Chains A and B, each alone.
Chain A
């Protein structure tokens, strides 16, 4: 037996079940069902997550267009609304109940179904095995289950839109007692039950996926791929999965207690309530308890959303500026710091609940501490493009846009994290501006960067560049036009989640601005449809990829064949010799991770 063969068989053992039988792939026949529906191939599951996410994103964004119509044009009527929403928009004007249902669903859909499942679900699945050099996930079957639980959650949530009393409408945070009592809100009847069921299924999906990502990264790296040789994308997916696995169960526990308060007569969250003409028997519960349980996930959740985007942006910026990412270890360290701090700041969402002010002080301190690792990341991205040689692909433009919006939205976090400012700005449009810029727009930009960059890896074709540029520029300008002025509305104390501001003397001075914002929202929404069109058109008709490594990147995924195969590499898995960021080193444009170190070369 040659050395080569020994090595190879060792590798096979290492990769265990996943690699089993993959040498004869291509020979065995795959049916439509096993290839496209209940696929075990991580690349197909990634596409399933992505396309489901895109469908949800269209629905969620369309909801925002509907409620922005109300906010921008409160006196106008749109008869076509009645034809799609029926009695929820009698006379062409949506009712308050419909407005709150739309707001709630917009939040739920985008936070959980699009930016969690659609973002980390897609790219963790696609990139983890490809970039660490594994044939598939640790458990392809669990991976498949993860998608199908997400699909089930989607079905239940979708069904809730069609029940007679409407979907949940108490805000995406679903605070009790509003969400616990059907008498308090029409959306809290059937809608909340379906919402909770759907979210429970969603948590299961996240746990199945997350455990899989963690074990794949820890156990299935190719030979030579030490943890510090991993691209930053993998590090970010790793920390994302850790956050999810540790915090989603807490959310589930909160939901179960809520479900029991609704149906089993318990009083976890209910006390001293008089509603619909009678006093309820519940006593001794705390409505604030739910908020602790919710935000114990809710805050890590925003990092679950933004970390994958950070990872992908780091990768895309390095590739397109032909430079190593600056301060690799600091980037990993700051991801780690963010991951730890993410668990210690949840109560900054609760400064004005009557929380003990002394306790609040610690949360102020820890919250502002997060700005340090975030600042490190921003400065490192800036230094990465400094003295680079940047090729402006749609992916790199979206990455630059990501850094810009991450700065803008991150800085306002310093305002809100300070309880003495939060006491004025809490639950105003300032908060809306802050989190939409930092975890809405930024995360979407990271996702777009990822889609444009890895589309060739997914479909063997390119997306149309010109459409990509149009998409980027209108979205960037539009996003700032929508959210920047909202800071001013928030400074005026204008509360969020209001159906109509016209009766308020303190907040009715912004009707012109609201109209402007709604107008831009419609344009930006239309441009996203252009992207969706580009996406689906390019799957079938896009320019074909002719080389294996179109972006001249160092990472392993570009060593696989143009048309992905189940098992990823036709022969054995390549061995890794260096880190992922040898760009423009020693006069060479790039050096793939698979190339051994030269005799005089030092590893990173």
Chain B
């Protein structure tokens, strides 16, 4: 019933607007076309300048309202460069935006049709046109230079001491694998995938490198230590989106991609910095991947080396989970692995 009433109200408003519009057309015929034209021109001229003024105030107000809701400082070293480039670009495009919008609406207002005014026949001016070809070209050269410099840094090879973490997308969650103490990931193939046998990633257990690999539900990273993500997908294209770190990279089936960065703040520090006790580094899937796309959330925990070591020590190898029968034999091995890690930290 309320829906019906709403429709009725909308239709009534339509009819009222339409009747006013129709009446105004009759009025303009009565008043004379010239007078009506002058009047509507004045009104629209005024509205144009009002739109300019209110619009610029609106832009300022919108910024005031929302600037606290966007991300604060970048949480990775690499993201700082992205932010710097954004500021430079914002400065250049912002100035151009304000000047051109002011000129557009001010000219429209100032040169509205007036009795007795004659338009100025001004078909071209080579000088002006050269000026506004050259200036944008220079500004853009600057932006390209800044941008590419940073682009090559972002896409450079990861440092040799970077921790490797493998992130594999599937509908609709992320599978995370660490290489274990040998620092190398075991070979895997999509044909070996067998969720029933605890092998979601299709790891080849014959590869000795795979024995100490472990899988986790969250990505754990050490603050200040570079990390290299090896990104892949099991089914469709996903994308590892890291808003706080200002990075993202597609996860493409069959074509591994990589991404490296250095986290600057631990999760705990970010909670304090943002004043948000619920703060979490999240991995968002940024490439449409099906009906659960919006729920494909991963969590990254950035912590100190000690916390990280303690966490690593608690992770059972995937091999031991996939081979429960062999588990007793594996147990001491896993144990010794923990000890080595513990020893390393001392």
Contacts and interface: CB of A to CB of B under 8 A. Distances in A.
Given A427-B286, A533-B18, A288 B252 contact: yes
Interface string A382-422: 11011111111000010010011001100110110011110
Interface string B234-257: 111101010110111110111101
Given A387-B122, A427-B239, A407 B100 contact: yes
A466 B132 CA distance: 37
A495 B284 contact: yes
B287 A423 contact: no
Nearest to B135: A375
B53 interface: no
Given A379-B132, A485-B62, A288 B154 contact: no
B22 interface: yes
A492 B71 contact: yes
Contacts of B125: 326-327
A37 to B, nearest CB: 31
Given A273-B190, A495-B284, A371 B66 contact: no
A162 interface: no
A273 B193 contact: no
Nearest to A175: B237
Given A493-B284, A505-B279, A506-B243, A392 B121 contact: no
Interface string B99-117: 0110111011001111001
A509 B243 CA distance: 14
A504 interface: yes
B123 A604 contact: yes
A400 B279 CA distance: 44
Nearest to A104: B288
A189 interface: no
B82 A421 contact: yes
Given A424-B246, A428-B286, A495-B286, A400 B108 contact: yes
B342 interface: no
A418 B21 contact: no
A323 interface: yes
A584 B188 CA distance: 75
A574 interface: no
Interface stretch (B136-144, B177-185, B307-315, B328-336): B136-144
Given A80-B3, A352-B248, A418-B85, A400 B17 contact: no
B152 A361 contact: yes
Contact of B114 (A95, A184, A389): A389
A376 B129 contact: yes
A279 B140 CA distance: 48
B323 interface: no
A321 B287 CA distance: 46
B44 A469 contact: yes
A274 interface: yes
Contacts of A504: 282, 284, 297
A387 B119 contact: yes
Contacts of B105: 400, 404
B89 A418 contact: yes
Q: Which among B51, B62, B97, B147 has the highest number of chain A CB atoms within 10 Å?
A: B147
B97 A503 contact: no
Contacts, number: 370
Contacts of B107: 382, 385-386, 388
B14 A426 contact: no
B344 interface: no
Nearest to A370: B140
A330 B124 contact: yes
B93 interface: yes
B295 interface: yes
Given A470-B21, A491-B71, A279 B44 contact: no
**Chain B interface, >50% SS class:** helix
Contact of A385 (B25, B108, B278): B108
A70 B132 CA distance: 45
Contact of B104 (A387, A403, A494, A500): A403
A397 B44 contact: yes
A264 B70 CA distance: 47
Interface of A: 79-80, 95-97, 100, 169-171, 175-178, 181, 184-186, 270-275, 277, 279, 283-288, 321-330, 352-354, 357, 360-361, 364-365, 368-369, 371-372, 375-376, 378-380, 382-383, 385-392, 397, 400, 403-404, 407-408, 411-412, 414-415, 418-421, 423-424, 426-428, 464-467, 469-470, 473, 476-477, 480, 484-485, 488, 491-495, 497-501, 503-507, 509-510, 513, 526, 529-530, 533-534, 537, 543, 581, 583-587, 604
Given A491-B71, A497-B288, 15 more contacts: A170-B288, A184-B290, A186-B291, A271-B254, A328-B124, A372-B133, A386-B111, A465-B24, A467-B17, A492-B243, A500-B295, A526-B10, A530-B14, A533-B14, A537-B18
6 smallest CB-CB distances across A and B, nearest first, come from A493-B243, A271-B254, A354-B257, A357-B155, A387-B120, A498-B294
26 contacts: A100-B293, A177-B253, A270-B253, A272-B253, A285-B254, A352-B250, A353-B257, A357-B151, A368-B143, A378-B100, A379-B129, A385-B104, A386-B107, A392-B108, A418-B147, A420-B146, A421-B85, A465-B40, A473-B47, A492-B69, A493-B284, A494-B243, A495-B241, A498-B294, A505-B282, A584-B120
Interface of B: 3, 10, 14, 17-18, 20-22, 24-25, 28, 37, 40-41, 43-45, 47-48, 51, 55, 58-59, 62, 66-67, 69-71, 79, 81-82, 85-86, 89, 92-93, 96-97, 100-101, 103-105, 107-108, 111-114, 117-125, 128-129, 132-133, 136-137, 140, 143-144, 146-148, 150-152, 154-155, 170-171, 190-191, 193, 195, 202, 234-237, 239, 241, 243-244, 246-250, 252-255, 257, 276, 278-280, 282, 284-295, 297
